[in-house]
Structure 1
Amino acid sequence: MNETSRVADTLSATMDRPRGTTSELSIHGTVVAELWGPDGKLKGYCKTHNLVTAVGDQLYASRGAGLTTSALPTGMKLGTGSTAVAKTGAGAALVTYLSGSNQAFDSTFPSVSGGVATYKVTYAAGTATTASPITEVVIPTDTISTNATSTAANTIARALLTGIGSKGASDTLTITWLHTILGS
């Protein structure tokens, strides 16, 4: 039977927010780096977003709601490279390692609370000094005792830093990194 009345039905729907058909894990990351001089004055500051690598996505997804501090990496490493951050490949690795910058997290870190993992490292005077600007930081999965670069396969997150400059022998650098786990 053919419709001859030429009447069309219109269906419209309004939603307050778009929803996908699947629930996905999302990680929002923020890095704050502060360089302090021996006089206690702030010499450099950077607040930026970081990129959680494909390895980091897998680590967090495998932990899910069971994320605990024992399931997390043990420290950070610094570098002086400028390769753009990426989920995989060269941009997911520490490009130009700063010798002696492999350092364990501060004593009460990492901490996990309410879906937020917080990491913090304080590079004291005399540690990780360089005449070059410190421009990158990573959280690796490999042992922090390794005084060497970390590959993309061993890096959960990487960020580029601006405004920090070089770290003199009397300076202190503090890096605080937050990963907020969104979704389920």
Structure 2
Amino acid sequence: MIHRPTLLIPKREKLRVRGMVQVRLIGPDGHLKYFEQGENLVTDHGDEHIGERIALDSQDIITGMRLGTGTTAASKSGAGSFIVTYITTSQEALDAVAVGSDLGGGAGWRQAHICTWIAGDITNAAIAEVALTDETPLTDVAGVAANTVAKFIFAATIDKQVGDSLEVTWNLDVLGA
């Protein structure tokens, strides 16, 4: 009898990263003026950023966000992979170190990044896009594809007045199944 070794076929597993953006515009009276939630697009640089953080842990951490007025659709690379029309002085460092949490029950891991543009920070009647960046140090420029991790286009333009606060919570969920 000939013994044939059992051929082990590795389980195919797909690592997924899903971004969910939540935007809140709060008026000077503390009332919610605008709310939106939606999925972002992780750029090619974002894929590289996440992969290098897993493999090397030498990749720059996510440092903040930028706002713009452009409406070019988000894309993995090219013009839609970074802020198109940057709002001067809208670069904002994260409010605190990103918070990680286990989603439980095999649902993955969530890394939350939060930026708040407080009353008086910036004013603009046509905020249309936000980008998550790993630029170090964070500077007052539009950014480029090479430092934009993810991008989100708002469903409607946001009118942030001088007394308003704009809060963007960016959750990046990682699931290995």
Length-normalised TM-score, structure 2: 0.83
| Separation in structure 2 between the aligned mates of residue 71 and residue 48 of structure 1, nearest angstrom | 26
Residue deviations 1:29-53 (CA, integer Å, cap 9, x gap): 1000000100111111111110110
Query: 1:83-162 alignment to 2 at 5 Å?
Result: 83-107=72-96, 109-114=97-102, 115-130=109-124, 132-143=125-136, 145-162=138-155
| Separation in structure 2 between the aligned mates of residue 24 and residue 94 of structure 1, nearest angstrom | 29
Aligned residues: 162
1:25 alignment partner AA:
L
| Separation in structure 2 between the aligned mates of residue 67 and residue 181 of structure 1, nearest angstrom | 16
Alignment match, 1:33: 23
In terms of fraction of residues, the more strand-rich structure is 2
1:176 and 2:176 correspond: no
User: RMSD across aligned C-alpha pairs, in angstroms?
Assistant: 2.3
* SS state at 2:70 partner: coil
Contact 1:85 1:159 (8 Å CA) reproduced? yes
| Separation in structure 2 between the aligned mates of residue 21 and residue 122 of structure 1, nearest angstrom | 42
Alignment match, 2:67: 78
Query: 1:46-61 alignment to 2 at 5 Å?
Result: 46-61=36-51
1:113 alignment partner AA:
S
1:76 alignment partner AA:
M
Q: Which runs of 5+ in 2 are unaligned?
A: 1-9, 103-108
The structure with the largest alpha-carbon Rg is 1
% of aligned pairs identical? 36
